[in-house]
Chains A and B, each alone.
Chain A
Amino acid sequence: MASSGKEGEPDMVPMLDMVFQLITFFMLVINFKSASMDLELKLPVVGSARPVDMKGSKDMLVLNINELGQLKVFGEVKEDIEGYIANEGAASRLAVRAKDRDFKDTDDLPSNVVVRADQATPFKLLNRVIKACQDNGFRNFSMKALNKKPGS
């Protein structure tokens, strides 16, 4: 380049191709739902835990409960657990009523409550959350667990 005195132009096209392929890969595998999960929790290991069935997926309420019984939603600790669940229940009820006018306040909510609790959480603290959900009309629960120990 310097010897000939001409301006060298590197061919960018293969690099651009590769970069776009990488971007496509990451776009396909990225999962924004994982933002609702607190990955610091150590879930219990249960052999019969089945993979999440996405067919007929309904509205989901993901509740992360750490070993201190704190409720974390999108990384934020909710101090007023009962108040938060009551709000979510009311929002869910409104959404259902928009589709089904015959839906009554006393009817069970079709939403699914996904409980992600740390394995060391005492039942007393966990039950507080479950009871609050039940009191607000939630009936369908999914208890998250791992099929096998991490790293095995």
Chain B
Amino acid sequence: MSRRRRKKHDAGGVEVNLTAMLDMAFQLLAFFVLTFKPAPIEGQISLRMPPPQPVVMARTKDKKAGDTNKTVTTGLDSLVISAFPNKSGGLGTMQVFDQPVATLAGLDAELRDKLTAANTPFEQVVIQVHSGLRYDALMSVIDICTRQKMADGKPLSKLSFVELDPDAK
């Protein structure tokens, strides 16, 4: 090596000074090391949200005895789920139309029955959400909904939300 270098020197060869490049390379390295922040691996649930439709409030005088439908009158193609929070904002009670559902597993079974029936009229799901329900509780309901398949075998993707009055129970 030293012999070769000496030969180069002797022949008038040019020796590149690497210090400047090394300085620059270290600066670049420092920048990348300092700005490196690996993002957590996130998933997503893709939804096609239909345009907001006017919601007709069910009047008290129109209600029949035992009618617990609280808020909306929807088209035939909408399956209505209601989600209410507990005291901490987590998932409390649920309803599919007027029928109470105790657990997420129950909701799953109920939706499967209603959506996969051969003559099902439902094309979309409307989730009536109490204004105080936390996002994670809502996502657990959405999770159940997006797992469903329609009668034609396609996954359910049409979802929309309706905000319930804070006084609704």
Contact = CB atoms under 8 A, between A and B. Distances in A.
Interface stretch (A73-81, A82-90, A93-101, A116-124): A116-124
B47 A141 contact: yes
A50 to B, nearest CB: 5
Main secondary structure of the interface of A (DSSP, over half): mixed
A72 interface: no
Interface string A124-152: 10110011001100011111111100100
Given A123-B129, A127-B163, A130-B161, A146 B136 contact: no
A122 B21 CA distance: 54
B164 to A, nearest CB: 9
Contacts of A5: none
Interface string B64-105: 000000000000000000000000010000000000000000
Contact of B143 (A15, A47, A142): A47
A124 B49 contact: no
B22 to A, nearest CB: 6
Interface residues of B, number: 47
A30 B40 contact: no
Contacts, number: 153
Given A16-B21, A146-B42, A139 B36 contact: no
Given A123-B130, A124-B131, A139-B50, A145 B163 contact: no
Interface residues of A, number: 54
Interface of A: 12-13, 15-16, 19-20, 22-23, 26-27, 29-31, 33-34, 37, 39, 43-52, 108, 114, 116-124, 126-127, 130-131, 134-135, 139-147, 150
